Structures are given as C-alpha cells and as structure tokens.
Chains A and B, each alone.
Chain A
Amino acid sequence: MFDALLEGIVNLGSIHSLLLLAAGSCVGLLFGAIPGLGGTTAVALLIPLTFGMEPWQAIILMGGVMAATSTGGSVSAILLNTPGIAPNAATTFDGYPLAQQGKAGMAIGAAATASAMGGVIGVISLVAVIPIMKAIVLLFTPPEFFMLAIFGMCAIAVSSGDRLLQGLITAVIGLMVGFVGYYDVTSTVRFDFGIPLLEDGVKLVPALIGLFAISEMINLAVKGGSISQDSSDVEISGVSAGVKEVFKNWSTMLVGSGYGTFIGAVPGVGGTVAAFLSYSTQAQRDPTPEIEYGKGNIKGVIAPESANNAKDGGSLIPTLAFGIPGSAETAVFLGVLILHGIEPGQKLLEDHQDLVFTLVVALTVSAVFATLIVLALAKYMALLTRISVHMLIPTVTVVALVGAFALNTEIGDVVIAFIFAFIGYFMIRFNYPRVTFTIAIVLGSITELSFHQSMLIADDQMSIFFTRGLSLTLLALTILSLAFPTFRRKMKERKEAKLETEQ
C-alpha cells in the first residue's frame, strides 16, 4: 500500500500534473459556485478532454474537480444565500446572516478552511478504513436507512428552536413534496396531476435554487438596500479571523468531518444529509451559544462545510469496496474509469492500487488548493454584499434560472424554481424554517422506501427495526435528540429556581 501511495505522489509530482490538478480545481470551484451546475455536470463535461490522456491524468483532473465543488458552493451560499450545490444548503443558515452583518470575509474564511480540513480528514479516513470498508458499507440495510432518516428529521426539527411548531409544519410539507413522482417500490407515479415533468419528482437542485436564491432576491427587492445591513465603513476582511475560528472550534470540525465520511460511505444518502446532520448536531451540542444558530454563528458554517467536503472521501468507500457509486459525482467518475478501460469494483483495488492512490492524493491536494484560492479572493468576493440590490437582483435571478435549466436542459425546472421561490419567500416573510423543509424533501423518499423494503424483507414483522444493533442505536439516538431540549429546559429551570432560593 505504501508503494502505491508513493506512486500516487510521484504521479502528481510533475508540472504538467499540477497544472491539470489546478485546472480541475478551478473548474470545480466555478461549477460549485454557480447554482445548478455542480460537480456531476463538471465531470461529465470534462470527459471528452480526457480521451487523449493517460488514466492517471484523467483521475488527477477529475479528483481536482470533485474536491473543489463544495468549497466553491459555500461562497455563493454565504454571499447570496444560494447553495451552489445541494450539500451547501445548510451553510446558508448561518453563513448568509454573517454576510448580512458585514462579516462575509470571516464566514468565507471559515468555510474554506473547514472545507480543506474536512476534505483532508475524509481522505485520511478513507485510507484508514480500506481494510474494513466492506463491513462499513454492509452495515446499512433498509431498517438502518429508515432509522437514519427518522433520526435525521427529528434531530433537525428539534434544532429549529422556538419555531418548533412551524418547523414541524414545513417538515411535513417537505415530505409531501418528496412523495411527488415515481415510486420505486410499486413503480407508480404519484401526485403528478398529469404533468409529465412531475413524473420524475421535484428535483432538489431547481427547488433549492428557488427556495434560497430567488426567494432571497424577491425579499431583497421588497426590502431594498444591500445584502450587508452594516452600512458603516468597516473593512470587509476578517478572512484570517475565520481561518482561526476553525482551529478554535476544532471539535465542531472533527465531528462534521466524521459525519461526512460516515454518511458519505452510505450509498444513496449523500452530502446534503451529512451537512444538515452535522449542523443540527452542532446546534444541540452547544446549548447556550453566544450567538443563536441561524443568526450568524460561525460554528454553523464550520459544521456543514467540514461535513460536505469529508463526504468526497467517504463516498469513495462503496466505490472501492463494490464498484457502487456513493454519490452522483462518483457515478460519473466511475464512467470515466470505464471509458479508459478500467473496470471499477474488486479489481480496482487489486490491479490499480496506484490509480486509487493517485486519486487520494489528488483529492487531498485539490481540497487544499481550492481553499487557498478562495482565501486569496475572499476579500474581493465579499464586496459583492455591498453592491446595490438593484444590480444584484436581476443578474443573480437570471443566472440562477439559467442554472436551473442547465441541470437537465429542462425548461420545466425553471418553472419549478419559480414556484419554490414563492414558497421560499413566504417562508421568509412569515418566519417558517427552511431547514426542516429542505431536509424533509431529501429524507422523505428514503424514509418511505426503506420502510416498505424493510417490511418486504421481514414479511411485515415490525421487529426488524428493533432486533438489529445499528438500527437500535439509531433509535436510541433519535429518542435522545428528542428528549434533549426538554432535559435542557428542565436543567435551566432548576438552575434558575436554585438561584432564586439562594437570593
């Protein structure tokens, strides 16, 4: 294994390889930052370029792209409340309020640093678990998927704090959105109302573009001014302060990276869930924050950003173990390997260990490289928040709509983005949490599917959920996460009572 690692480093050692990696990194940043494009599109579009390359060169280019997208996506999440790719959605909750307070530089600094750290930790974990990776992938069967989804939704609903009732409402509405379209268990198309576009369900990316980007533009248009409410001449910098915050809150970053790696390893769940879970766990671990979560707490940026980058390493675990893609990006990446005559799966690790480690090294270096670029430019990018809304609104709206279209070259997706823009605007206006809504769209179909599959496997015996170790553990975690806020409140009351009697 060590030889292979060395070969990986050697492969990356030439100027030519480094240029390839840098190019991949820049493409990844750009595609990550523009909503609707994302890493999958970037990798797919670069395929023809790799035809003339050696396999390891193609891997360096693709690795560069994959490691950089979520770093790029965090920038638009923070500056424009627009998750560049879906896993950046959780970053908007605290990143954008920070930008509104004139602390965009700090938020970007923290996000980029957390991304690099998460990326590196994810890759290291990947290498560390190679001997046991099959066991990890096999841990998750339908009952575990079900419990994981339930846990995710409960943990996130609870984190909506004093808007709990409204959080629950948006969660159930999100679930309803998730039911639209083709259902794999019965092959039935539901809630399509005869519209062909809805047959495939509401796609996440156009929905997120509407829900976050365009709704925010509508909101700004109604309010006027500029994104940064802080009109004083405070210099927009603080980038280095953001970098320091990550190391100050290293446990947040570590937990986030752990979530990213672990959930990334489960095929079909993905970075969005990892980022949301990391965010809500952080909010729960920190019961008395100096700044409320959702109002610009820097830890609310570090948690999701370390998770969504760590998932790049994690999602390679099922790929290397069984040749099964852990995410949409790795699916296209597998396609690239096949195009180059390399069969993924068992043989990849047996016959092409050098290529595997070339990818590992490329992912690591690109994660760091992308972060350095973002850190270098953060100061200038943050100026975007000072621009008058009347320049920002039309340009962002148009580019976001083009992005919604570009995903599948489907005009209907533009209409979906528009509809979700309204939903999103009313959620902002009447203060209904968008956190629970988003996660419910993602987790809704997993919950239903894994429940029905579990019932098929167990011949309708509910006991399947309670007789398996991991599924039970997840259940216990769910109960804990629900009981936690009540427990916290009681402790607080007791403390206050004690103080009163002492006086």
Chain B
Amino acid sequence: MRIPEHRRPSALYILIVLAVVVLFIATSYQYKLTDRMFPLMVGYFALPLLIMDLLALTDSKIGEKISIFFSAKTPEKVDEDADQTVRSLKQELMIFVWMGTLVFGIYLIGFLPCTPVFVYCWMKYRGGYSVRQSAYLAIGTIVFVYVLFEILLQYELYPGIFLYWYG
C-alpha cells in the first residue's frame, strides 16, 4: 500500500490537518466537562474521516472502496476530474513570501506606506508593467484608501506597531 507520487502533496496536506486535530484534542482535555464535551466529540469524529481520506489516496483496494463509497468515483476518476492547473511549489512559495511580507509590513509600519509600495512592486516586478503604469495604480489605490477610510469614514488606519502604542 503506497501513495502514488502525484497524490503526495494532498497526503501531506491531510497529515498537517491531522496534526492540528491531534493538538486540538490534546488541548480540549484541560477544560471542564461542559467545555470539552463538544470539542472532543468533533475532534474524535475528525480522526477517522481524515484517515479515510488518506487511505482513499493510496493505490490499495480499501482506498478504492472508500472513494467509491463517498464519491461514486474511483481514485483515478477523481484524479481526472481534479483541477489540472500546473502549480509549481517554487511559484507558490514565492507568492506566500510576497503576501507575508505585505502583512508583516502593515504590522510594522502601517497601511499608508505599505499600500502604494506593494501595489507598485507587484505591478512592476510580477506584472512587468512600466514604471509609469505601476506608479499610477499605486497612487490611485492609496488615494482611494486614504479618501474613503481616513477622510470620509474617519477611521484611524493602523499606523504600525510603534506608532500604535507610543504615538
């Protein structure tokens, strides 16, 4: 019983979720009976589901049975029907880093500087637009955000961690 190469990423995903569920169950035990009753019920219900999902990815007989029971499809058919978009891990990691940097930047120095910088950099370096086009959209976005949120709605947009506590 093994998991075919092309289903490995899915299997990894399930294993991560499984780990979260185990952590959840372990945490539940520190609470009083009323407080842990539902979380434990749900947690223990999740375990067999995840294990079945994992088995359905294998090339075994039982995997096929599970797949047919729940979806009326063989695992091969499921593969066929899946989204065929090619996603390289490098590409995905790259985008996570971009997004992560944005959120971290907002946390550190706030929305107002991060907004135009992010829009500009993305357009210029990911979209391949010219400096002028990128700058136009960057300015447009920050004007929209500033006028709508700061002026019209009188929100104090988050100014970054330093100004928030010491400003």
Touch between A and B in complex, CB under 8 Å? yes
Instruction: Return the contact of B31 from the options A188, A223, A393, A429 (Cβ within 8 A).
Output: A188
Instruction: Return the contact of B35 from the options A186, A390, A451 (Cβ within 8 A).
Output: A186
Residue A468 at the chain B interface, CB threshold 8 Å = no
Q: Which of chain A's residues have a CB closer than 8 A to the CB of B73?
A: 162
Q: Which of chain B's residues have a CB closer than 8 A to the CB of A409?
A: 155-156, 158
Docked-complex contact B123 and A391, CB < 8 angstroms: yes
Docked-complex contact A431 and B82, CB < 8 angstroms: yes
Stretch at the interface among A115-123, A337-345, A413-421: A413-421
Q: Which of chain B's residues have a CB closer than 8 A to the CB of A191?
A: 24, 27, 39
- Closest B residue to A164 by beta carbon equals B70
Q: Mark B150-162, 1 if CB is under 8 A from A, else 0.
A: 0001111110010
Distance, CA A168 to CA B87, complexed state (A): 26
Beta-carbon contacts under 8 Å, A395-432 to B: 395, 397-399, 401-402, 405-406, 409, 411, 414-415, 418, 421-422, 426, 428-431
Docked-complex contact B103 and A418, CB < 8 angstroms: yes
Q: Which of chain B's residues have a CB closer than 8 A to the CB of A175?
A: 38, 42
Docked-complex contact A405 and B38, CB < 8 angstroms: no
- Closest B residue to A427 by beta carbon equals B13
Most central of A185, A223, A414, A430 by chain B CB within 10 Å: A430
Q: Which of chain A's residues have a CB closer than 8 A to the CB of B42?
A: 172, 175-176, 179
B: interface residue count bin:
35 or more
Contact A415 B118, CB 8 Å, known A175-B42, A391-B127: no
Docked-complex contact B38 and A162, CB < 8 angstroms: no
- Closest B residue to A183 by beta carbon equals B35
Q: Which of chain B's residues have a CB closer than 8 A to the CB of A320?
A: none
Q: How far is the CB of A322 from chain B (nearest CB, A)?
A: 29
Q: Which of chain A's residues have a CB closer than 8 A to the CB of B21?
A: 173, 176
Q: Which of chain B's residues have a CB closer than 8 A to the CB of A482?
A: none
Q: Is the interface of A mostly helix, strand, loop or mixed?
A: helix
Docked-complex contact B49 and A398, CB < 8 angstroms: no
Residue B80 at the chain A interface, CB threshold 8 Å = no
Stretch at the interface among A85-93, A100-108, A197-205, A214-222: A214-222
Instruction: Return the contact of A45 from the options B10, B153, B157 (Cβ within 8 A).
Output: B153
Contact A399 B46, CB 8 Å, known A165-B66, A394-B118: no
Contact A402 B157, CB 8 Å, known A179-B39, A393-B122: yes
Distance, CA A218 to CA B98, complexed state (A): 10
- Closest B residue to A170 by beta carbon equals B17
Q: How far is the CB of A237 from chain B (nearest CB, A)?
A: 27
Q: Which of chain B's residues have a CB closer than 8 A to the CB of A415?
A: 103, 107
Contact A218 B38, CB 8 Å, known A169-B53, A402-B111, A489-B72: no
Q: Mark B130-167, 1 if CB is under 8 A from A, else 0.
A: 00000001000100110011000111111001001000
Docked-complex contact A422 and B96, CB < 8 angstroms: yes
Q: Which of chain A's residues have a CB closer than 8 A to the CB of B32?
A: 186, 188
Beta-carbon contacts under 8 Å, A115-157 to B: none
Q: Which of chain A's residues have a CB closer than 8 A to the CB of B39?
A: 176, 179, 190-191
Docked-complex contact B123 and A221, CB < 8 angstroms: no
Q: Which of chain B's residues have a CB closer than 8 A to the CB of A394?
A: 118-119, 122-123, 137, 141
Contact A223 B85, CB 8 Å, known A45-B153, A169-B53, A398-B145: yes
Instruction: Return the contact of B137 from the options A179, A185, A395 (Cβ within 8 A).
Output: A395
Beta-carbon contacts under 8 Å, B14-68 to A: 17, 20-21, 24, 27, 31-32, 34-35, 38-39, 42-43, 45-46, 49-50, 52-53, 56, 66
Q: Which of chain B's residues have a CB closer than 8 A to the CB of A222?
A: 85, 87, 91-92, 95
Q: Which of chain B's residues have a CB closer than 8 A to the CB of A418?
A: 99-100, 103
Docked-complex contact B72 and A398, CB < 8 angstroms: no
Q: Which of chain B's residues have a CB closer than 8 A to the CB of A173?
A: 17, 20-21, 46
Docked-complex contact A214 and B99, CB < 8 angstroms: yes
Q: Which of chain B's residues have a CB closer than 8 A to the CB of A162?
A: 70-73
Distance, CA A173 to CA B127, complexed state (A): 36
Contact A395 B34, CB 8 Å, known A165-B71, A222-B92, A489-B72: no
Contact A431 B83, CB 8 Å, known A172-B49, A179-B38, A188-B35: yes
Q: Which of chain A's residues have a CB closer than 8 A to the CB of B56?
A: 165
Docked-complex contact A390 and B127, CB < 8 angstroms: yes
Docked-complex contact A176 and B24, CB < 8 angstroms: yes
Docked-complex contact B38 and A447, CB < 8 angstroms: yes
Q: Which of chain A's residues have a CB closer than 8 A to the CB of B149?
A: 402, 406
Distance, CA A388 to CA B137, complexed state (A): 13
Q: Which of chain B's residues have a CB closer than 8 A to the CB of A244?
A: none
Distance, CA A431 to CA B78, complexed state (A): 10
Distance, CA A274 to CA B71, complexed state (A): 27
- A-B CB contact pairs (8 Å), 9 listed: A45-B154, A169-B49, A169-B50, A172-B45, A176-B42, A188-B31, A397-B102, A414-B106, A430-B13
A residues contacting B by CB (< 8 A) are 34, 45, 162-166, 168-169, 172-173, 175-176, 179, 183, 185-186, 188, 190-191, 193, 214, 218, 221-223, 388, 390-391, 393-395, 397-399, 401-402, 405-406, 409, 411, 414-415, 418, 421-422, 426, 428-431, 447-448, 451-452, 489
Pairs of residues from A and B, 8 with the lowest C-beta to C-beta distance, nearest first:
A390-B127, A394-B122, A162-B71, A165-B70, A394-B119, A172-B46, A448-B38, A418-B103
Since A190-B39, A414-B158, A451-B38 are in contact, a sample of 9 more A-B pairs with Cβ atoms closer than 8 Å, ordered by chain A residue number, is A169-B46, A169-B53, A172-B46, A222-B85, A223-B87, A391-B129, A394-B141, A398-B111, A402-B149
